[in-house]
Amino acid sequence: MVRFLVRRISLIVVTLLVVSLAIFLVTEVLPGDVASMILGQGATPSNLAAVREQLGLDRPAPARYLSWIANAAQGDLGDSYVQRRPIVDIVKGRLGNSLILAGFAFLMAVPTAILLGVWAGIKRDSLGDQVISIGSLVAISLPEFVTGVLLMVVFASTLHWLPSSSVLLPGTTPLDRPQILILPALTLTGVLLAYVMRMTRANVIEVMQSHYVRTAILKGLPMRRVIFRHVLPNALLPTISIVAMNVGWMLGGLIIVENVFSYPGIGRLLLTSIQGRDVPLLQAVALLIAATYAVSNLLADLSYSILNPRIRLS
């Protein structure tokens, strides 16, 4: 297990280096000049040259990349060009908000999806299975912004049960007003629940048809024991992979949901950094999202070894 962890962590480091290079190259070819956007209409050639020198934009690209990645490895992400604040301070608050929203949606979606998937797989082709399958197809087919707007119209504009906006006052956290989390979390839950549920259902159906499960049933074992001892440990392995992939998506894919509901999270911060050509902030947020994907996949592999002893022994 130690050798496995060392190998996977080394692979994550290499992956993040490659991703960081790709992020840097993409930000280099973004249209627009950062110095011109900072100075605005009053920009002159001398002012532009001074700002570029102050920001280090006059240095060669390889030197800037090596300096950026070396500082990032030490936890120094630099300062924002637009907000003129340390990026660590900016990202810290926004990341906390996104983690609260993603965690709230995750706790709503994953247990519900697994329970529905297991039930639909065991009750294959029943009326309930067909209703759940059709509902999941509808949830997958609708884009997040459409789902968010529909929920906003129903629960905010028509029923007046929940606020339509998730704006936070300065100095407050989402936990101070938990009602603003419900509509964004439901929007995220729709897609995640559908994917996890359909994967779980398909895996349960496949495992239920395996020889060892049929043998356990023919031996007279209680169905509950068959499901918990034989079906679930094998059926949940591919589901864990889907869940792990969606952990990264929920952090990076919050861009649409957070902008629909004006939620101050990391996804909205990423879009703001793109619009304002705030290159250091954009690089830091993109690298953070990539690191989240890598770590979530590592946790998924560790979960495989817990559920399946054959993987652990290999």
Binning pLDDT at 50, 70 and 90, where does residue 308 land?
low
Which pLDDT score is estimated for 110?
Answer: 85
Query: Is there a single domain that holds both residue 113 and residue 206?
Result: yes
Model confidence pLDDT, tens digit, residues 60-116: 888 888 888 888 888 888 888 878 888 888 888 888 888 888 888 888 888 888 888
Which pLDDT score is estimated for 298?
Answer: 78
Query: Is there a single domain that holds both residue 71 and residue 138?
Result: no
Q: Which domain holds residue 164?
A: 87-313
Query: Is there a single domain that holds both residue 126 and residue 66?
Result: no
Query: Is there a single domain that holds both residue 207 and residue 247?
Result: yes
Which pLDDT score is estimated for 107?
Answer: 85
Closest among 247, 212, 261, 256 to 233, alpha carbons compared: 212
* Residue at token pair 């050639």: 45
For 196, the token pair is 């996890």
Distance from the first to the final alpha carbon of the chain: 10
- Contact by Cβ (8 Å): 134, 245: no
Give the distance, in angstroms, between the CA of residue 14 and the centroid of all CA atoms in the same chain: 21
In a domain, 133, yes or no: yes
Binning pLDDT at 50, 70 and 90, where does residue 310 land?
low
Domain boundary among 76, 108, 128: 76
Total domain count, the chain: 2
Model confidence pLDDT, tens digit, residues 249-270: 666 567 788 888 888 888 888 8
Distance in angstroms (rounded) separating the CA atoms of residues 109 and 194: 9
Which pLDDT score is estimated for 253?
Answer: 60
Binning pLDDT at 50, 70 and 90, where does residue 306 land?
low
Q: Which residues fall within 8 angstroms of residue 75, CB to CB, at 6 or more apart? A: 88
- Asked if residue 309 has pLDDT above 70, the reply is no
Model confidence pLDDT, tens digit, residues 124-178: 888 888 888 888 888 778 888 888 888 899 998 888 888 888 888 777 888 888 8
In a domain, 162, yes or no: yes
- Contact by Cβ (8 Å): 234, 207: yes
Average pLDDT, the chain: 81
Query: Is there a single domain that holds both residue 41 and residue 171?
Result: no
62, 68, 72, 73: CA torsion to nearest 10: 40
Which pLDDT score is estimated for 121?
Answer: 86
Query: Is there a single domain that holds both residue 211 and residue 286?
Result: yes
| Single pTM value for the model | 0.76
Average pLDDT over residues 191-217: 83
DSSP state of 178: G
CATH number of the domain where residue 210 is located: 1.10.3720.10
Which pLDDT score is estimated for 223?
Answer: 80
State how far the alpha carbon of 173 is from the alpha carbons of 186, 252, 281, in Å.
Answer: 19, 20, 22
Alpha helices in the chain (DSSP H): 2-28, 34-39, 45-55, 61-73, 87-122, 127-141, 144-151, 182-208, 211-218, 223-226, 232-252, 254-260, 266-275, 279-307, 309-313
- Contact by Cβ (8 Å): 34, 81: yes
